[in-house]
Every structure is written in C-alpha cells, then in structure tokens.
Amino acid sequence: MRRGGPHKLDLMEGAVQDQGEIKTGELVCSADCPPVPIRRFVPRFVPNSDYFASFGEQWNRFRRTQIDKFNGTTLSKERFYSGTGWSPAELKGAKILETGCGAGRFTQIMLDAGAHVYSVDLSSAVDACMANNGPRGNLCVVQADLCRIPFRHHSFDKVFCYGVLQHTPDPRDSCMSLVPFLKPGGDLAIDVYLKGGALEPYKSKYLYRPLTTRMPRRLLFRFLQWYIPKWLPVDTFIKRLPVVGRLLSMVIPCWNYRYLPLSQQQRVEWGILDTFDALAPAYDYPQTPESVTEWFTSAGLIDVRVRLGGNGVLGNGKARPLTV
C-alpha cells in the first residue's frame, strides 16, 4: 500500500486483530505524511467527504438491498458480467482494483469468482462494503480519494469502476487517474450516465436537482421514505399508459423497477435508494459515447469498446502489453 507516491506504510505496534485481519490500528510512513488510522478493518486515508456523503448515507441505510446474496436475485452478477465482458474463469486469482465500491454489490461477485479485490470508496460506504463482504483474506477495503488511490501503479490485472465517474468533479480526470494502476495488458471497465436529448423518465431528476442538492440529506431521505411507497403504484399505472405514459412519468422522479424480479418491498427499497442516488449527489455529469471513447484513446488504451448499455454508456479497454 502506498500514499502520495513511493512511501511505504508500516503498521504501528498495538494494532488489534480480529478474524486474522487488522481491525484497529495505525499506518505510518518514514516521510512527512500524516498517520493513517485503521477503523473497523478499513484504512482511512481521507475523512468523510462532503460531496460524497450522500453515498455513504444511502449505502449504510440500505446496506443489503442490492446485494445478490441477500436479495435472492442475480441482478448484480448479470450486470457485472454482461457489462465487463469478463468471465469468472479469468477473475479467479486476478488482482482487481474496484473504485467506488458502495455497499459492495459487485465486490461480492468478484470475490465469489476467486479474485483478490482491492475496493476503494471516498465515502463511509466502505463500512457497508466491509460488513457485507468481509473481513476476509482476499479483500482489502480502503477509504480514499479516487484520484489519490494509495496503491502502486501497474499492479492490477483489472480495474473496475461502475456508477462513480459521473459523480466526480471531473469525470475525465477521474477516469484518467485509473489507467496507471493497470498492469501491461490489464483491463479497464467503466460506466457513466448517458448524455443526450432523448426524453426519458429518469431525466426528471434534472428538474429537481437544483433544489434537492441544497436540501439537508436527512430531510430529503425522510421525504423519499414517505412518498416513494405511496407514489410507486401511481407511477406504475402512469408508465403503463400508451403514448402519454412516458411523458407523464417524467414529471415526478421515481425510480421504478416493476420490470425486475423483485418483491413489492424490494421495489420500494430500490426506489428509495436510487431516487435518492439521483437527487442527492453534488455532481451529476452524464457523458456521450464519443467522450468516453476520447478518454480511452487519449489514455493510450487498446481494444477500446464503447457502447450503450448498463446505466448509460459502457467502456472497456486494455493497457498495452509489454513489447519484447
């Protein structure tokens, strides 16, 4: 593990272990850099970020909602493998950097395939990820800035980043910061929201975000907990109306997963979670496929494949292999 360049971190005496992992302690380096506390198995390279605080809140409140092993579905598994194009066989034994782990819905998929996963998140969602998936020997969860990841460059077989880049101050710079961590020939997989002019129900969020991003998060969350269960049946009815249903459903933001194999209670929880996810984050910068393609080619990646899918735009690329 590294911080601010080539500085090696050492574990101070007095650390407490549990289940074979360090539960509490402190990491220090020989250079003039502040110590890194370890709390609840997670090294904390940053304090909780203001602009990412909404994510920590939502994932800790709905820690198990989107985790396959808890909700009885394979939705996260299907999204992961269809989006990345990776196979369980190639993940076995691979060293993977996951940036923006949230509650760990995709962390579980990679761990189940036998990967060694290094999960990073700027928010307190790291606690939800660790509670859902750890502690275990092939999982390292770190609270750190995506643009200052405390690991060595060129040390990962794969880098995975879903649901994150559009919520950073500069999505392009954030994407570029991931590339140096790939080994030669390593794979990068990202997704971002789609930027475009087509009318879609999810775009109703942009009507409300000037207000909701300024609201106290707890107030917004309590409001969604009150109105989503009441509005969800109405929204379902509206969406079934021919022709006008699509337009009417844009008026009130409500993430409605009526088409997924979820129970009514699960649909309510997913609706609250993802509506909050749409309305609360400080940043929301959707992208075009052309912009994502430019990121990948400018970064020198090869085998670039950018297409519509997932939550908007999916991007895959490969670091150049070493030449003999």
List the chain residues with pLDDT less than 50: 2-6
pLDDT value of residue 242 = 87
Query: What's the pLDDT at 11?
Result: 86
Amino acid at site 301 = L
Residues 114, 93 contacting (CB under 8 angstroms): yes
Concatenating the DSSP letter of every residue in 77-105 gives HHHHHHHH---HHHHTT-EEEEES-TT-H
Give the pLDDT score at 247.
Answer: 79
At 15 the pLDDT is: 86
pLDDT of 3 = 40
The total of other beta-carbon atoms located within 10 Å of residue 281's CB is 21
Contact 156, 91 (CB under 8 A): no
Could you give the CA distance from residue 166 to residue 190 in angstroms, rounded to a whole number?
11
**How many helices (H) and strands (E) would you count in the chain?**
12, 13
pLDDT for res 245: 80
3-state secondary structure of 5: coil
pLDDT given at position 4? 41
SS3 content of the chain, % helix, strand, coil (to 5): 40, 25, 40
- CB 104: neighbour CB atoms within 10 A? 31
Give CA–CA dist 106/127, Å, rounded.
15
Q: Which of 88, 98, 168 is nearest to 134 (CA)?
A: 98
